[in-house]
Chains A and B, each alone.
Chain A
């Protein structure tokens, strides 16, 4: 496990180095096109190393994963070569990078706080924050949509489908009143 961790850190350093080199070379527009196959190659190599710990038999557990890994390595090598030679299609420019990054961060935050403050409150906050972020102008409607969704999900998922949604610290309060 330690060896794997050291390998992972080493690989990250190499990838970072490749990234910095690409940014300062003439292939800046192919940064992602080059890094993605690099990541796939690294992940495949990690998986390949793990397969050597499996029982070695003709139709054993290592057979199929190794087959997929070898194919990924070969084909990723080809795409990497194409990207390095500038034969790949460069990814389109992201028009609103800040909006996208904020959305991703908010989504991760929503997932992380859900077990602590519960599904209903976290969803209420998530909808309000997202609608504000997307410049939705009707302020009252934002709250109506957030409350409406929470009520709908309570009725459909909790009452109708009997799904135990995460309630977090409000669990006792929830069972007391609802």
Chain B
């Protein structure tokens, strides 16, 4: 789940973690869908970023991650379980880029 700066929040995003004040009181529950009003409320509370549902977009380009994946698997051979693991990881990486 990505941690998104408040200025990049958009209506429709969902909180991946409850929003709490300094004393631990829950202000918005996990799963709350953001609206314009809720976003400005968060801004007014002086919070700079919140956890949002969904995969984080990795900092490195997709090609680089996929090349590193090939490199990691370069010595292991292609037995059915390893092929399945590699396929699952590859699809998992590709899905992170949407």
The answer to whether A and B belong to the same complex is no
Binding site for B on A (CB under 8 A): none
